[in-house]
Amino acid sequence: MPEATSTYRPTNGNGEPHMTSLIITDASIHGRPGRHDVVIEQGLVACIEPTGTTPRTEGTARPDAAPATVIEARGGLLARAFVEPHLHPDKSFSLSELPAAEASGLNHFARASRIKAAFTPEQVARRARRAFELAVSNGVTRLRANIDIDSIAGLRGFEGVLQAREEVASILDVDLVAFPQEGLGRDPGAYDLLREALRSGANLIGGWPNVEEGEDAQRAHVATVFDLAEEFDVDIDIHADCWIEERERMLEVIAEETMTRGLHGRVMASHCCGIECYHDNARYVADKVAEADVRVAVIPLNLVDGILRGLSRPHMLRQAGAQVIVGSDNLNDGWYALGTLNPLDRIYMAVVGGGFADDEVDAVWHMVAGGAAHALDNRSRADTAVESASDVHIGMVADLVLLGAHDRLEALRRPGGPVTTIKGGRVVARRTVEERIMDVDAFGAALGGGAAARPARGVIPR
């Protein structure tokens, strides 16, 4: 599958060089039958033609023509690049920083707090960069980062992630959410630090009202987050109702506050697991979320982490008209030891955990790619991108991913397959996979069977 590359010098019809920078040949594209060649010029998808019909000028171009990189997709699926709408890169890969003896007996919250007390900007930058590069290697070109801003971490985590963002700026777009993980009422020192972060490069304000003690304090937390959003003219990305518990009831409050302030389309609520167990008014809350155009990021990879967390009734929210997308959350940190940062895993888990039918896989794929991008960026209500429409189209920014599978279902069956990530028309990451099918007779011989052991029968390049 995606493997071979070469360069040649393309020209336009007059024999003059044009600005072609990348050509992908023989690609499968969801929504377009057959194989296609895709030409990318100046960072945009400029041309999509059935394979074999794209004019090739190899050998005839003027010597001053700009060389283009050619990727032979060999039937691989060329798709819109993935979006990671919810990650905590300040904490990513930090679990090993807490000795097991110290971690023993601590809950997740306490573990994470203990780890971040020792944050240094340099150490955070190193781990965050590792997480960013992992995301890019998995086909992600856009990521939203929540960063703890509180009296424990100060601004050290923020400074570290800022540095890491700068280091990966050419391969990954990163939004920064100033996140008061420890609360605002519980941690009064967080407020001034949040303001400092918003003045220093954070482009969203976060929150987690449920961490406060009692409903009045939780509502006050929501109000303060919205006040800061209005003062700094930034959008909101707020954690809400992280567990399946009846008392987790902030999603409705957030929707009401959004409508009261006229901030429709500017608020993302993540997790929102509480709605799973509302027996009385789940649909009522879903309707309010849709009316306020609060976007909801569900987190399927945190479905269970010692306690059941649920998946936020994505069907009901979608039926109500809300935009639902899928994020990752934690990655090998005090909150969660696992995590892969692989969008294919996110899709798979969302399908399974959300109870989607197999003919809804395209809808869930959309929640991790084009729909996620729309939810992050577009304040207009309608997500007009239809899941069944051609995934790659002329004129779009060439943030693309080439997978070693012919279609989406095959890709989901092989989340560890080859990946080429393209950002702005430039290849920014490539993962190749060599697959060896061992000779079954050799296994038989090793187990005492009659056939003599032979070398591996073949190597399939992927």
Token pair of 35 as six digits = 């194989």
The region of 119-127, 210-218, 325-333, 344-352 touching Zn ion under the rule CB under 5 A is 325-333
- Binding pattern to Zn ion, positions 279-318, x when CB under 5 A? ----------------------------------------
Least CB distance from residue 252 to Zn ion, whole Å?
A: 20
User: Least distance in Å: CB of 112 to Zn ion?
Assistant: 11
Instruction: Enter the tokens of residue 88.
Output: 């905590």
Among 41, 329, 345, 387, binds Zn ion (CB under 5 A): 329
* Minimum gap (Å) between residue 208 Cβ and Zn ion: 8
Q: Which is nearer to Zn ion, 27 or 222 (CB)?
A: 222
Structural contact between residues 371 and 82, judged by C-beta atoms closer than 8 angstroms:
no
Range list of β-strands (E), 299-383: 324-326
Q: Candidates 43-51, 323-331, 340-348, 434-442 — which segment interacts with Zn ion by CB under 5 A?
A: 323-331
Q: From the CB of 88, what's the least distance to Zn ion, in Å?
A: 6
Of 61 and 184, CB closest to Zn ion:
184
Interacting span for Zn ion (CB under 5 A) from 273-281, 304-312, 322-330, 412-420: 322-330
| DSSP reduced 3-state for 227 | helix
- Residue 40 or residue 297: which is nearer to Zn ion going by CB? 297
Nearest approach, Cβ of residue 297 and Zn ion (Å): 9
Which residue's Cβ has the minimum distance to Zn ion? 329
Which helix H or strand E contains 344, and what residues bound it? helix 343-353
Take residue 99 and report the two structure tokens written for it. 């000795």
> CB neighbours of 284 closer than 8 A, spacing ≥ 6?
none
Question: Torsions phi, psi of 45, nearest 5?
Answer: -75, 115
- 184 in the Ramachandran plot: left (φ > 0), alpha (ψ -120 to 50) or beta? alpha
Closer Cβ to Zn ion, 165 or 408, answer by number: 165
Q: How far is the CB of 86 from Zn ion (least distance, A)?
A: 6
Which CB atom, from 40 or from 294, has the smaller least distance to Zn ion?
A: 294
Rounded to a whole number of angstroms, the minimum distance from the CB of residue 239 to Zn ion is 5
The least CB distance from residue 286 to Zn ion, in Å, is: 21
Q: Per CB under 5 A, which region of 202-210, 306-314, 326-334, 452-460 contacts Zn ion?
A: 326-334
Looking at beta carbons only, is 85 or 418 nearer to Zn ion? 85
Single-letter amino acid, residue 46: A
- d(Cα 303, Cα 306) in Å, to the nearest integer? 9
Q: Which is nearer to Zn ion, 346 or 408 (CB)?
A: 346
Q: How far apart are CA 462 and CA 459, in angstroms?
A: 9
Q: Kindly list the distances between the CA atom of residue 348 and the CA atoms of 30, 334, 415, in Å, as whole numbers in the listed order.
A: 18, 24, 9
Distance between CA atoms of residues 250 and 376, nearest Å? 21
Structure tokens at 252: 């409705």
Task: Give least dist CB 327 to Zn ion, A.
Answer: 8
Q: In this complex, which beta carbon is closest to Zn ion, that of residue 187 or of residue 329?
A: 329
Number of residues that bind Zn ion (CB under 5 A): 1
Select the span of 68-76, 313-321, 327-335, 405-413 touching Zn ion (CB under 5 A): 327-335
DSSP assignment of 144-160: EEEEE-BTTTBTHHHHH
Q: Are 322 and 289 in contact (CB under 8 A)?
A: yes
- In sequence order, the 6+-apart residues with CB closer than 8 A to the CB of 176 are 145, 147, 158, 161, 162, 165, 197, 201, 202, 203, 204
Q: How far apart are CA 108 and CA 113, in angstroms?
A: 9
Q: How far is the CB of 420 from Zn ion (least distance, A)?
A: 29
With respect to Zn ion, which residue has the nearer C-beta, 138 or 146?
146
> Do residues 289 and 317 touch, judged by C-beta distance below 8 A?
yes
Return the number of the residue (159 or 329) whose C-beta is nearest Zn ion: 329
Say what the alpha-carbon torsion angle 439, 441, 445, 447 is, to the nearest 10 degrees: 90
Burial class (CB in 10 A: 0-12, 13-18, 19+), 67: middle
Q: Computed from CA positions of residues 404, 365, 326, 107, in that sequence, does the dihedral angle turn out positive or negative?
A: negative
Which residues in 428-447 contact Zn ion (CB under 5 A)? none
Q: How far is the CB of 270 from Zn ion (least distance, A)?
A: 6
The residue (of 82 and 208) whose beta carbon lies closer to Zn ion is: 208
Q: Which is nearer to Zn ion, 301 or 428 (CB)?
A: 301
Q: How far is the CB of 299 from Zn ion (least distance, A)?
A: 7
Choose the stretch contacting Zn ion; rule: CB under 5 A; options: 66-74, 328-336, 339-347, 448-456: 328-336
- Rounded Cα distance, 230 and 224, in Å: 10
Query: What does the binding site for Zn ion look like in residue numbers (CB under 5 A)?
Result: 329
